[in-house]
Amino acid sequence: MNPNVAVFPRRGNPLLPEGVADNRFPDPHIKIFTNPDTGRENMYVYVGHDEGKDRFIMRDWYVMFSEDLVHWQCRKTLSRKDTYLPDDSVDCWACDVIRSPWDGRYYLYYSNGGESTGVAVSDRPEGPFADARGKTPILPKGITPTNSYDPDVILPDADDPRAWIVFGSDWTDHYWAMQLNENMIDVVPGTARKVPVYPSDGTPEELLGELRSDQAEAFRYENRWYLYWAGRYAVSDNRLGPYIFRGNIGADIPHYPDGRAFIDHGSFVEWKGQWYYAVSCGLESWSYRQSWLMYLHVCDDGTLMFDEQIRECGVGQYWAGWEKIQASWYMQIDAPHLRKIELREGGSHKGFAIAQQSGTHRACYPHVYDMRENMVMTLYLQGEAGSKIAVLEDGRLVGELTLSETLDDFTEVCIPLNNSRGEHDLTLELSGPIAIEWFRLA
């Protein structure tokens, strides 16, 4: 563990909602919705709650939500008694929630163990949700050759006006998809399609050994589609594949005896110019899981990466005593003019930076703890002569610098700050062609 992490004043991972003692909330699906009470966007994390030790004991579905990703609220969002599951069910497995593009309501697709999938509806993103089909499943057992559980919904986009629900497991026949009716509570008969994953281009046999898991999530990054499951992922030009296996996003994380990463259900979303990765992480046993939230980084070749330090500390908060604060850990940027870029050296991955070519744009780093008065900010950057960096503390200008010469290579530069003590939100305002890899406060 990074020695700086041990004294970090507020732990952000695993996610711990305020007032909650037992944060065993696995199987996260993350979404960005407008909070109807505030009118501002929040991140909503839809989860189960596992009480088991040697097996899953999951009685209801919950939602955590936050505006700053540091302070979280939690509440029950769907009760098993409001579904077709038995009143004593402990099989309230993974769910997914979407906002319908047709009627604007929120639909929660929930698993009845590994057997079937139901759907509930609400007028609010946090619920409460009520069963939408007269307590009958939308995906009954046997509707396709795979298990009818662990749903992931893909909404329409410019390339496909249809909504699809992806589900299944390689316990039977891998992943399948069916088209959703515009009412979002029925599937369209005759639309069942297998979502194939192959070990490499040109290989006729589907991937088998690496598919030892259940829930898959499909998401689009720029023009590339990803299919993720249990720390592993594949890529495709199309939402329903075929997908080509790429590797394990959790290569350095402990593994189960059968070789699967000790992380399972995962979810991805972009918000305010930053990508996020939420995942269940196993602790003492395969059923003792919690949800973690990290920044996601995407290399030029499509490789998915995250930071070990952020995995330990969580997002949306920083300690002024860290040796380096990576510029790519921002919470908001003026995208697309200011963006995250991959750095390479000698053909190898070196890291990430934020960069722009022109104009004046901002990157925000809220909740910087333990600031001391009149610190010095060291930035590792490159840029053209005349480019400027302004540092704002809670919106107030506390330091600035204009490059007197062009820096073709990344170089350390220092800005004395007129800042105050305590916890503050820092913003870097950049003008002109410039790229920043990291900064440090001392």
Q: What is the pTM of this model?
A: 0.95
Domain C-terminal end among 269, 300, 316: 316
Total domain count, the chain: 2
- Residue 171 shares a structural domain with residue 71: yes
Domain C-terminal end among 281, 316, 351: 316
Give 250-293 as a 3 state SS string. CCCCCECCCCCECEEEEEEEEECCEEEEEEEEECCCCCCEEEEE
According to the model, what pLDDT value does residue 7 have?
53
- Residue 199 shares a structural domain with residue 336: no
According to the model, what pLDDT value does residue 286 have?
58
Contact indicator for 356, 341 with CB cutoff of 8 Å? no
Share of the chain above pLDDT 70, in %: 93
Please give the full DSSP string across 230-258, using - where no structure is assigned: TTEEEEESSTT--EEEEEETTTTS-B-TT
- Residue 355 shares a structural domain with residue 217: no
Q: What would the mean pLDDT of 349-355 be, rounded to a whole number? A: 96
- Mean pLDDT (the chain) is 92
Structural domain that includes position 362:
319-441
Q: Dump pLDDT digits (tens) for 278-310.
A: 998 876 555 578 899 999 999 999 999 999 889
According to the model, what pLDDT value does residue 33 have?
98
- Residue 43 shares a structural domain with residue 114: yes
According to the model, what pLDDT value does residue 114 have?
93
> Residue written as tokens 């590797």?
247
Q: What would the mean pLDDT of 239-259 be, rounded to a whole number? A: 74
According to the model, what pLDDT value does residue 6 have?
45
- Residue 293 shares a structural domain with residue 372: no
- Residue 277 shares a structural domain with residue 349: no
- Residue 167 shares a structural domain with residue 254: yes
Q: Dump pLDDT digits (tens) for 74-105.
A: 999 999 999 999 999 999 999 999 999 999 99
Share of the chain above pLDDT 90, in %: 79
According to the model, what pLDDT value does residue 249 have?
85
Round to whole Å and give the CA distance between 38 and 72. Answer: 15
- Residue 338 shares a structural domain with residue 300: no
According to the model, what pLDDT value does residue 251 have?
57
Q: Which amino acid is at 438?
A: W
* CATH code, domain carrying 366: 2.60.120.260
More confident residue, 291 or 1: 291
Round to whole Å and give the CA distance between 326 and 183. Answer: 44
Round to whole Å and give the CA distance between 173 and 211. Answer: 10
Round to whole Å and give the CA distance between 202 and 196. Answer: 13
- Residue 250 shares a structural domain with residue 137: yes
Round to whole Å and give the CA distance between 28 and 15. Answer: 11
What's the CA dihedral at 147, 283, 366, 380 to 10 degrees? -100
What's the token pair of residue 233?
Answer: 């992922």
* CATH code, domain carrying 115: 2.115.10.20
What's the CA dihedral at 393, 396, 398, 402 to 10 degrees? 110
According to the model, what pLDDT value does residue 173 have?
84
- Residue 335 shares a structural domain with residue 309: no
Q: What would the mean pLDDT of 399-405 be, rounded to a whole number? A: 98
DSSP state of 91: B
Domain C-terminal end among 316, 337, 358: 316
According to the model, what pLDDT value does residue 126 have?
98
188 three-class SS: coil
- Residue 428 shares a structural domain with residue 287: no
According to the model, what pLDDT value does residue 255 have?
53
Round to whole Å and give the CA distance between 95 and 109. Answer: 5
Q: What would the mean pLDDT of 192-218 be, rounded to a whole number? A: 87
According to the model, what pLDDT value does residue 410 have?
97
Q: Which residues, other chains included, contact 51 with Cβ-Cβ below 8 Å and sequence gap of 6+?
A: 24, 57, 58, 59
Q: How confident is the model at residue 1 (pLDDT cuts 50, 70, 90)?
A: very low
- Residue 217 shares a structural domain with residue 284: yes
Bridge partners (DSSP) of residue 97 are 108
Pairing of strands 396-402, 360-371: unpaired
Q: Which amino acid is at 43?
A: M
Bridge partners (DSSP) of residue 75 are 63
